[in-house]
């Protein structure tokens, strides 16, 4: 494919008039535009009934004066965020795709930093490159634990800790990927309009491509807005739990003969309850550091329908626990105790344990 632009900015939008002008101002301020980087702004409207499209049309001249083209497309029928992203990409002609939600604001150096890194990682026009970046939330203090977790995902963690929290280790509002990667994956799911984690689905598919290179710029490049109408609110925590649990089963549990669940508390019990019967028989033990939980000696699962105990699993001290382990502990609430135990034991991530906290 002959690329007409270096970067296509992908903006899925539906009734985005409240925040869109600020989003566009962030793109107008991109330093890359002054360095002869060819950029196009591609917005896909998903059936807006407000001034979303008019706001971008009114800004068209501002973008053109900076050498940036504006492309507006329309989703054939309202299809949700995945359909809008897919529509915007298919209307674009850039080598790299920079995803910018209609309510988020890119820092002035975002495109330059991510394009420089993507080019550094690329060896040819057809390389599969997936770049992210750091971010902050607005209002201040929104989703602090999630933000801290996501911003701590660097290096090998990007590929490894993909079963934890509520989404990809590279947060979707910071995505900057090669078009060849998008084409290889086949785009976003467009057949589920609401309640589907299209970003997590896409990210997992990219992880399954061995040649795909993941990295992120260390700078804060996106203001990720938190508000009641965020598209992410349409996806329930249970849906995401089920989604990442299914991948964990395929990648690990199906290959293990026996395993241990680290946490005899609420999260560990929930995880056990989520397993199929044949998977439950593989659970060797629960382990914990809490003496009260260890003192119970046994976890019993009770079937309310038959009024019988269906499974009994020992609860042991972490010191005697046998790998491999599924870690269901909330990682940021142990004050480093969990990491110290793992280091002392010499347990290796993805060999001796996998995080599902």
For residue range 188-216, list pLDDT tens digits in order.
988 877 788 999 999 999 999 999 999 99
pLDDT tens figures, 121-136: 998 767 999 999 999 9
The CATH fold of domain 252-355: Rossmann fold (3.40.50)
Which two structure tokens, joined as six digits, stand for 250?
């395929």
Among 102, 136, 98, CA closest to 221: 136
CATH topology identical between 5-235 and 252-355? no
Alpha helices in the chain (DSSP H): 17-28, 52-65, 80-90, 110-121, 144-151, 157-160, 179-185, 198-207, 237-251, 266-274, 277-280, 291-295, 337-345
Tokens encoding 251: 């990648």
pLDDT at 147: 94
Using a cut of 0.75, tell me whether the model's pTM lies above it: yes
pLDDT mean across residues, the chain: 93
* Residues 6 or more apart in contact with residue 167 via CB below 8 angstroms: 150, 197, 199, 200, 203, 232, 240
Distance CA 184, CA 289 (A): 45
Largest CA distance in the chain: 74
Q: What is the mean pLDDT of residues 272-279?
A: 96
pLDDT of residue 40: 98
Lowest mean pLDDT among 65-69, 293-297, 299-303: 299-303
- First-residue to last-residue Cα distance in the chain: 42
Closest listed residue to residue 89, CA positions, set 187, 228, 15: 187
181 alpha-carbon distance from chain centroid: 16
pLDDT score recorded for residue 333: 60
CA angle 272, 275, 281 (to 5 degrees): 80
Tokens 């997992």 correspond to what residue? 204
**Residue 9 token pair:** 């900015």
- Give the range among 29-43, 48-62, 174-188, 219-233 with minimum mean pLDDT: 219-233
Q: How confident is the model at residue 167 (pLDDT cuts 50, 70, 90)?
A: confident
Average pLDDT over residues 159-177: 92
Residues of the chain above pLDDT 70, percent? 97
pLDDT greater than 80 at residue 230: no
The larger pLDDT score, comparing residue 227 to residue 13, is at 13
The pLDDT value recorded for residue 339 is 86
- How confident is the model over 253-264, as a mean pLDDT? 97
d(CA 259, CA 266) in angstroms, rounded, equals 18
Residue in this structure with the two tokens 């990442």, named with its chain if needed = 244
Residue with the bigger pLDDT between 30 and 337: it is: 30
- The reported pLDDT for the residue numbered 23 is 98
pLDDT of residue 257: 97
pLDDT surpassing 90 at residue 91: yes
Cβ neighbourhood burial of 48 (10 Å; 0-12, 13-18, 19+): buried
| Contact between residue 69 and residue 40 where contact means Cβ atoms under 8 Å apart | yes
Q: Would you state the pLDDT for residue 305? A: 85
Break the chain into its structural domains and give their ranges: 5-235, 252-355
Q: With bands split at pLDDT 50, 70 and 90, how would you rate the model's confidence at 245?
A: very high
Tell me the mean pLDDT in the region 97-125: 95
* CA pair distance 261, 169, nearest whole angstrom: 23
Which tens digit of pLDDT belongs to each residue from 298-308? Answer: 999 988 888 89
Q: 5-235 architecture in CATH?
A: Alpha-Beta Complex (3.90)
Cα dihedral sign, 164-166-172-178: positive
Q: Label residue 138 by pLDDT band (50, 70, 90).
A: very high
């Amino acid at each position: 494919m002959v690329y007409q632009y270096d970067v296509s900015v992908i903006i899925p939008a539906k009734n985005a008039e409240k925040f869109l002008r600020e989003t566009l101002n962030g793109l107008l301020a991109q330093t890359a535009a002054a360095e002869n980087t060819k950029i196009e702004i591609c917005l896909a409207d998903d059936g807006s009934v407000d001034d979303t499209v008019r706001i971008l049309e009114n800004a068209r001249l501002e973008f053109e004066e900076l050498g940036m083209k504006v492309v507006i497309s329309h989703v054939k029928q309202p299809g949700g965020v995945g359909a809008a992203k897919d529509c915007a990409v298919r209307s674009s002609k850039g080598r790299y795709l920079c995803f910018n939600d209609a309510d988020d604001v890119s820092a002035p150096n975002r495109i330059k930093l991510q394009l420089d890194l993507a080019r550094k990682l690329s060896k040819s026009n057809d390389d599969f490159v997936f770049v992210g970046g750091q971010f902050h939330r607005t209002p201040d203090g929104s989703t602090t634990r999630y933000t801290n977790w996501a911003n701590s995902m660097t290096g090998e963690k990007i590929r490894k800790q993909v079963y934890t929290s509520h989404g990809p280790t590279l947060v979707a509002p910071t995505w900057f990927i090669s078009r060849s990667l998008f084409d290889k994956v086949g785009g976003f799911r467009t057949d589920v309009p609401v309640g589907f984690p299209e970003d997590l689905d896409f990210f997992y598919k990219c992880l399954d491509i061995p040649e795909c290179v993941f990295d992120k710029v260390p700078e804060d490049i996106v203001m990720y807005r938190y508000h009641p109408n965020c598209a992410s609110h349409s996806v329930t925590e249970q849906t995401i739990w089920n989604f990442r649990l299914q991948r964990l089963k395929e990648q690990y549990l199906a290959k293990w003969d026996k395993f241990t669940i680290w946490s005899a508390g609420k999260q560990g019990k929930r995880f056990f309850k989520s397993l199929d019967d044949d998977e439950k028989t593989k659970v060797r033990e629960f382990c914990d550091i809490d003496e009260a939980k260890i003192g119970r000696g046994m976890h019993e699962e009770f079937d309310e329908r038959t009024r019988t105990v269906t499974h009994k699993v020992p609860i042991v001290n972490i010191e005697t626990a046998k790998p491999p382990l599924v870690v269901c502990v909330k990682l940021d609430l142990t004050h480093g105790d969990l990491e110290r135990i793992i280091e002392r034991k010499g347990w290796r991530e993805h060999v001796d344990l996998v995080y599902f906290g």
